[in-house]
Amino acid sequence: MTSQQVAYDDAFCASSVWWGWHLLANLLTKAFARALYVIPFAGYVILYSDYFSKLFHFPVLGPSGHSFLPVMLRLHLIYYGSLLLLLAYISYQLAVPTLLRNKTSVHQFVSEVLSTKNYSVAQAALQENIDHLEAVEMHGLSDKERAELESFVTNMKARLSNITFNDDNPNTIPNALHFYYKWKNRTRQLRATIILIITGIGYSCLLLPALDIFQQVVRMTYRSLVHV
């Protein structure tokens, strides 16, 4: 798809994508993820102390041979997994487009700007949209599409000098914010991909100990049912 068609679709089509900065925001900025970021700081003392390391032994689950992961390996995975997630979170905060930081969806982004009447964000989004669309060659579009996109730019220019949230006909600011989010959500994809890989490895490290305990519980439950 050409850049002209992408710009038109962002402006006038209700399209949604599964991949983008919003995915990283959902994986790295939610409360459950933030709780994990404490482990690299306090976790070393907790996980590797003699007292707490005993808590990772589960004799009730049966012989240790039923576990695929030694206890110390579980501790290493938890510690380094949370460390990788912290690294991914810091990288995300540095790499994500500024106005999209911690925004998990286009709905959240637009509603927050409109509800708080954030003039600075609206102004920045309008200006960047105008600069971006004026740099896009329109020759790849039909006459109708070109006229609609040019009208969209004209409306944003008019609103840029008179930003108001109460009388915004024809919804120039919400439409501009939608366009801005969808456009920026796809930018800097190499950085986003690298951060996603780090995030995936981090979550995998945390998931493996949980799966190991789960399979032990399943084994114990199965043995109990068989011997009933």
The pLDDT score that the predictor gives to residue 108 is 94
Question: Mean pLDDT over residues 198-219, rounded?
Answer: 86
User: Do residues 53 and 75 both lie within one domain?
Assistant: yes
Do 176 and 109 lie in one domain? The reply is yes
Q: Is the peptide bond before 59 cis (omega within 30 degrees of 0)?
A: no
78 belongs to a structural domain: yes
Share of the chain above pLDDT 90, in %: 40
pLDDT on residue 171: 83
List pLDDT tens digits, range 36-71: 888 877 766 666 566 555 555 555 545 554 567 777
pLDDT computed for residue 127 by the predictor: 95
Taking a C-beta distance cutoff of 8 angstroms, is the pair 185, 101 a contact? no
Q: Residues 90, 52: one domain?
A: yes
Instruction: Look at the chain and report how many structural domains it folds into.
Output: 2
Question: Quick count: other Cβ atoms within 10 Å of Cβ 96?
Answer: 25
Instruction: Tell me how far the alpha carbon of residue 205 is from its chain's centroid.
Output: 19
**Where is average pLDDT lowest: 18-27, 119-128, 134-143, 178-187?**
134-143
Summarised one tens digit per residue, pLDDT across range 118-136 is 999 999 999 999 999 888 7
- Tell me: do 108 and 176 sit in the same domain: yes
pLDDT of 202 strictly over 90: yes
Query: Is 139 part of any domain?
Result: yes
Classify residue 141 by its DSSP letter: S
Tell me if 38 is assigned to some domain.
Answer: yes
Which is more confidently placed, 158 or 137? 158
- Unique residue bearing structure tokens 């068609």: 5
Residue 15 lies in a domain: no
Residues 72 and 49: beta-carbon distance below 8 Å: no
Domain limit, last residue, from 187, 202, 218: 187
DSSP 39: I
Reply yes or no on whether the pLDDT at 172 is more than 80.
yes
DSSP 43: I
Per the structure, the complete domain to which residue 73 belongs is given by 20-96+189-228
SS3 165: coil
User: Are residue 212 and residue 155 in the same domain, yes or no?
Assistant: no
Average pLDDT over the chain, rounded to whole? Answer: 82
Residue type for 191, please? Answer: R
User: What would the DSSP string read from start to end of 186-211?
Assistant: TSSHHHHHHHHHHHHHHHHHHHHHHH
Report if residue 10 sits inside a domain: no
Higher pLDDT residue, 96 or 158?
96
> Can you give the pLDDT at residue 141?
74
